[in-house]
Amino acid sequence: MENPRRGEDGQHASPFNTVNAQEHADLSQQGEPKYNKNMEPLLSSDPVQTSPQIVLALTPIIGVAYLIHTRVRRRYPRTLPTLTSLKVGELYGWMAMVPVASHYVLMKKTQVVQDKDLLTLEAFARHETMRLPELARWHAKHPNIAPSFNGESRDGSKRPVPAEPTFEWTHNHMWAPDSAYGFYCRKLYERFADKYPDISPQDWDICISYIAATAGGNSTPFNFLGYTVPFAMLARRWPIMLITPLLNGLQRGLFYYSAFFVLMHTYRHWAYPLTLQNKQRVAEMLREAYYLDRAPRFLLPTPPFTSIPYLRDPRSPTTKDR
């Protein structure tokens, strides 16, 4: 089978121009390219294949583990102090919710990866993580740029939509640092808004928010899960009538806060691009703005987002020619 990663002239083919990414690599049932241990796309002839159904298969396994756990604890009560005040049902309920939520995340991820235009946006956002030093310098110059609700930004950047004191606006923009949002308003919106008048302000806002949230390094609150352990230990070592319920409540609050935002952050990452109304023009703007078809191939950082290769266009010059 001919290597689909290369064009007719032997150069790498690009999924961001005329060729769709899923036509070049063997895909899983979720529509994403498969890779071997060396991060090379798997072809149909490759023997190493993985089943995507393993995620959903974890749900009944967790249910069986919960039943076994409760039966064992009834017969052999715990003698060591616990690390959490959460009940067994709460812990297993959280673990069962993860594969269920992952199923819906994969549904959205499939739609993004299988769409050439949305794949361009995703790859561009991942590519922008290499611009973090430049973004850090921008943030150092504009440390206090929280958006005001009069349509103007404190960093002086022109914005596609004004800030609004509404839940929907806050939810859509809370994932991206405002410094990163202003940075990409300058880099994209101010330069290409006049050239692409058919891109609506809402689509500009979605595009910039998505890129800023991905490239801005906004971390999910995993560390809050670790903060719950000291609260739980204090609640058991310091059994004061008024303090123990307070510490238990703090632990539960931090746990559920982290659980909600971790799942919501991942789901929104793949669902938000699907709200674009004119994704074709947005993808064209990104190709023109940052010359995606001229960049050399690279692998996207940090699993599980290593499933989208960046391939050079066969019409563009090689690295040696430039």
208, containing H or E segment:
helix 201-215
Q: Sketch the domain layout of the chain as residue ranges.
A: 116-290
Token pair of 92, please?
């297993």
What is the SS3 string spanning 163-187?
Answer: CCCCHHHHHHHCCCCHHHHHHHHHH
8 Å CB contact between 308 and 119? yes
Q: Output the CA–CA distances (angstroms, integers) from residue 164 to 66, 143, 169, in the order listed.
A: 45, 21, 6
pLDDT in tens, 119-154: 888 888 887 776 666 555 655 555 444 443 334 444
Within a 10 A sphere around the Cβ of 202, how many other Cβ atoms?
Answer: 14
Buried b (16+ CB within 10 A) or exposed e, 46-67: eeeeeeeeebeebbeebeeebe
| The predicted structure's pLDDT at residue 65 | 85
pTM of the model: 0.62
Mean pLDDT in residue range 1-20: 37
* Beta strands in the chain, from DSSP E residues, in sequence order: none
Name residues whose C-beta falls within 8 Å of residue 67's C-beta, 6 or more positions apart in sequence.
Answer: none
Distance CA(12)–CA(295), nearest Å, equals 11
Distance CA(64)–CA(44), nearest Å, equals 36
pLDDT in tens, 205-245: 999 989 888 876 555 455 556 666 676 666 666 666 667 77
SS3 5: coil
CB < 8 Å & 24+ apart, contacts of 146-149:
146/178, 147/173, 147/178
Mean pLDDT in residue range 189-208: 89
In the chain the first and final C-alpha atoms are separated, in Å, by: 31
Given pLDDT bands bounded at 50, 70 and 90, which one contains residue 91? confident
